[in-house]
Amino acid sequence: MSPTSGHCVLIMWNYCMGGILLKELSKVTQNYPASGIRKMFELAGKYDNVISLTVGEPAFDTPANIKNAAKMSLDNNNTHYVSNAGIPELRKAIAEKYNRLIGEHYTHDNVMVAIGGMEAIFLALLATVNPGDEVLIPDPGYPNYEGQTVILGAKAVKVPIYEKHSFNIQAKDIENAITEKTKVLILNSPSNPLGSVLSRDDLAEIAEVVKKYDLFVISDEVYEEIIFDGHRHHSISQFPEIRENVLVINSLSKTYAMTGWRIGYVVGCQKIIGSMPKIQEGIASCVSHFIQDAAVEAIENSGESVKYMQEEYSRKRDIVIEEINGIKGLEYKGSPGSFYAFVNIKSSGMTSQEFAERLVVQEQVLVVPGSAFGSMGEGYVRIVFAGSDNDLREAFKRINRFMESLKK
């Protein structure tokens, strides 16, 4: 290398180390939606004694039988590569679960194992979306739906959801958002952040729209077991006339308190599912064998643990209803599903971002502004009630004090 060329390399290195990049970053990096949740975490980091009501993390440890299954698998040296699609035992257990749910004869060929629900959604989008296609996503809705759509060069089109409809997405609003470029509809029930649960009648109307426009449906059902007040979980895959177009997303994170294990799956028609293993080969190869063995145990032998956790979430949800009903200026009718409360704060006169920021500064309680989930979330905040009873009670004591201070 000549002295001149070495000098040029040094200049480029100095520019980069100084924060000046000579080459443009990818469009995905530049356009990926900023996280409103992350902004709140960074603000909360400046204060001590913060009570966080933000993270969708079960308040329970993974049940012992699931952990023991993983330990046994490790002792059996199941630490090597396995099939891209997942081990047959787990795929069979998942298929049998859905056969009981929808009355369909699924086999392991209808199942793709993924690294959590997030990769499951990404695999489903990769299998169905091209650059320029439009993907309908709920608004308010889980922010990563938009982010993953952006990564693929597709366009996220938001479908508004209204409190007057009990925060249930409406078939007519879906149809109004459809264009000639619409390819995929993402549904989420029970909903994060809304806590709403779609009824069978709701889904029947949506299924008619899906059939009319021949849409793919990615149905995110990761909170299927966290449902209250006699409501039941229904999947749009239960409608045979559109079943071939539906990819069901699920995860073991919420139902079995396995968030850190990172295991989820996609269930759907064999033609679509069969395209996913080759994609997985280029992303992560496979999910760890011993984690998949633990997942088999979770699905087949954890009914009592799931029932206990569901009852506890229901009880905590009732605490939230009781506490909010005692705070003037907040409105919350109760969530029939998930462990999220989407609380109306419009009477405060503040934007949801202003409300959340002032609450953490003044009372060290961390909530997520509804605007982090889309423009239709303005005027609301999301509260997670998966934590301890003591934290919930103390948080609402502080929130009440905050609301009282606004009157002054």
Query: Do residues 74 and 95 share a domain?
Result: yes
In tens, the pLDDT along 307-350 reads 999 999 999 999 999 999 999 999 999 999 999 999 999 999 99
Do 311 and 284 share a domain, yes or no? Answer: no
Is residue 166 left, alpha or beta, with left meaning phi > 0 and alpha meaning psi from -120 to 50?
A: left
Last residue of a domain, one of 301, 322, 345: 301
pTM: 0.93
396, containing H or E segment: helix 389-407
**Residue 87 maps to which CATH number?**
3.40.640.10
User: By residue range, what is the domain housing residue 157?
Assistant: 64-301
Task: Please determine, for residue 27, whether its predicted confidence score (pLDDT) is greater than 90.
Answer: no
235 and 351 co-located in one domain: no
Q: Give the model confidence (pLDDT) of 103-144 as tens digits.
A: 878 999 999 999 999 999 999 999 999 999 999 999 999 999
* 308 and 297 together in one domain: no
Beta carbons within 8 Å of 284's beta carbon, 6+ residues apart: 115, 119
The DSSP annotation for 302-338 comes to -HHHHHHHHHHHHHHHHHHHHHHHTSTT-B----SBT
Q: Return d(Cα 268, Cα 2) in angstroms, integer.
A: 59
Let me know if residue 131 belongs to a domain: yes
By C-alpha distance, which of 380, 385, 256 is closest to 317?
385
CATH code for the domain of 364 = 3.90.1150.10
Residue 12 CB neighbour total at 10 angstroms: 14
Same structural domain, 323 and 248: no
Least reliable range by pLDDT among 38-52, 90-104, 257-271, 307-321: 38-52
Which of 267, 301, 335 is the C-terminal boundary of a domain? 301
Angle at 338 between CA 390 and CA 115, to 5 degrees: 105
